Amino acid sequence: MSNPPSQMNLSPSTRAAQAMHSMDQRTGAVVPGIELASTFARNSDYELRDGFIYGRYGNPTTRQAETVISSLDGSAASMLFGSGMSAFVALFETLDSGDHVVLPQVMYHGGLDWVRRLEAKRGLQVTLFDATDATGLQNTMRPDTKLVWIESPTNPNWEVIDISAAAQLAHEVGALLAVDCTVSPPVTMDTLALGADIAFQSATKYLNGHSDITGGVLSFAKEGPLLDEVQLLRQLQGSVMAGFEAWLLIRGMRTLYLRFERASTNALQIAEHFENHPMVDRVLYPGLAAHPGHDIAARQMTGGFGGMLSLLVKGDEVLARDVARFTQVFFPATSLGGVESLIEHRKTIEGPHSLVASNLLRLSVGIEDVRDLIADIEQALERAQP
């Protein structure tokens, strides 16, 4: 008789689809249940039952979701938060006043805003590097650097940073490397195996994939004081993901591999279609052979290049916003990684201090028929022409 599934060497896609072969042992239900309790009774010896005490510390459904993510990330532990920003804040809260951190000049604007706040309020020393410069990261490293935070690809210019090289630079000075791999989830990139100490994802995006929760996750390559401190901070801040959201996240992860594959296929076709388009100045997508970071991306992203790309339209900011207004299939909305396709004028979202080009439109390509998506962009470009 063959081994039961729990003992087989299952592929990540199977583990995700079956949520780690989770089955209710009492009822046989193949869908995990939802634990909504905010407090948990102790047993007759006044000991905790399965380690749960209060909702702020965690709950069984959240633990199940963390187990799935940890398995996919290959982490020692993964911790879920109520939003991506709450996970980001918890990690940066472990830094002391005067610590030196390194980040890209162009990255998710909410994270950069928080780091700037710590710089002003607590004296965090911040150095930003140009991800388009091959030596940009190396030139910012200092003997006292504590944390290097990178995105790969970066948002929304989709520059590709070599994670293994970044890990080596960080570790040479005793710093930790944290990678925002929201747009390159474990479907396609094994971030911790490439040398990162911490893998961050906004679980709102590809992990969930249905635009109906907010969440964030930190996956740690090893256990230790940093993991313990972040866990304490999550408990004190009350920023753990709640049970119902964790259940929705599990639901979403069961189709993660299928969704990411379709989104990647669609995005590549859109990028290739508009690469030499008369109304598009440039297409930013690491899946294109002409992309400066394509070779690194092909080495790091082994399961597809994802559904994120940007179009630099020929025209000014007004024309770019008009294109976003005139789409009929793409939703003019922020966020990414859902089954539905989104378009946004990124500079409007980030505000007046943004370094993003004023004619840049960020696309989050979903799983619709790619012919409809291409036709929609075409008609919006035509309609926006002066």
Domain co-membership, 263 together with 157: no
Asked whether the beta carbons of 117 and 89 are under 8 A apart, the reply is no
* Annotation says 54 is catalytic: no
* pLDDT band (50, 70, 90) for residue 52: very high
Q: What is the pLDDT of residues 187-197, one digit of tens each?
A: 999 999 999 99
**Mind giving me the DSSP string for 284-310?**
E-TTSTTSTTHHHHHHH-TT---SEEE
Asked whether the beta carbons of 287 and 277 are under 8 A apart, the reply is no
Query: Catalytic pick from 56, 116, 254, 314?
Result: 56
Domain co-membership, 245 together with 285: no
* Annotation says 205 is catalytic: yes
* pLDDT band (50, 70, 90) for residue 23: confident
Beta sheet of 176-180, edge-to-edge order: 77-81, 216-220, 198-202, 176-180, 145-151, 100-104, 125-129
- Whole-angstrom distance, CA of residue 329 vs CA of residue 51: 47
pTM of the model: 0.94
**Mind giving me the DSSP string for 55-105?**
GGG--HHHHHHHHHHHHHHT-SEEEEESSHHHHHHHHHTTSPTT-EEEEES
Kindly list the distances between the CA atom of residue 380 and the CA atoms of 306, 323, 331, 344, in Å, as whole numbers in the listed order.
Answer: 23, 5, 12, 13
Domain co-membership, 61 together with 134: yes
Cα of 192 vs its chain's centroid, Å: 14
Task: Inform me whether the pLDDT recorded for 2 exceeds 70.
Answer: no
Residue 151's nearest CA partner among 118, 189, 208 is 189
Domain co-membership, 279 together with 163: no
* Annotation says 314 is catalytic: no
* pLDDT band (50, 70, 90) for residue 3: very low
Task: Decide which of 207, 237, 253 is a domain's last residue.
Answer: 253
Q: What is the pLDDT of residues 344-380, one digit of tens each?
A: 999 999 988 899 999 999 999 999 999 999 999 999 9
Domain co-membership, 247 together with 352: no
Domain co-membership, 360 together with 217: no
DSSP 49: B
pLDDT computed for residue 7 by the predictor: 59
Domain co-membership, 122 together with 208: yes
* Annotation says 282 is catalytic: no
Domain co-membership, 311 together with 205: no
Structural domain total, the chain: 2
Task: Inform me whether the pLDDT recorded for 81 exceeds 60.
Answer: yes
Which whole number is the average pLDDT over 161-172? 98
Q: Which domain holds residue 25?
A: 5-253
Domain co-membership, 245 together with 156: yes
Query: Catalytic pick from 73, 162, 205, 376?
Result: 205
Which whole number is the average pLDDT over 91-110? 97
Domain co-membership, 87 together with 224: yes
Task: Inform me whether the pLDDT recorded for 21 exceeds 90.
Answer: no
Task: Inform me whether the pLDDT recorded for 4 exceeds 50.
Answer: no
Task: Inform me whether the pLDDT recorded for 22 exceeds 90.
Answer: no
Task: Decide which of 227, 253, 279 is a domain's last residue.
Answer: 253
pLDDT computed for residue 311 by the predictor: 98
Which whole number is the average pLDDT over 239-265? 97
Query: Catalytic pick from 73, 108, 206, 257?
Result: 108
Task: Decide which of 253, 285, 319 is a domain's last residue.
Answer: 253
Domain co-membership, 27 together with 153: yes
Query: Catalytic pick from 99, 180, 190, 197?
Result: 180
* pLDDT band (50, 70, 90) for residue 6: low
Write the CATH number for 103: 3.40.640.10
pLDDT computed for residue 32 by the predictor: 87
pLDDT computed for residue 298 by the predictor: 98
Task: Inform me whether the pLDDT recorded for 86 exceeds 80.
Answer: yes
- Whole-angstrom distance, CA of residue 126 vs CA of residue 115: 8
Q: What is the pLDDT of residues 54-71, one digit of tens each?
A: 999 999 999 999 999 999
Q: What is the pLDDT of residues 115-165, one digit of tens each?
A: 999 999 999 999 999 999 989 999 999 999 999 999 999 999 999 999 999
Domain co-membership, 272 together with 225: no
Q: What is the pLDDT of residues 297-308, one digit of tens each?
A: 999 999 999 999
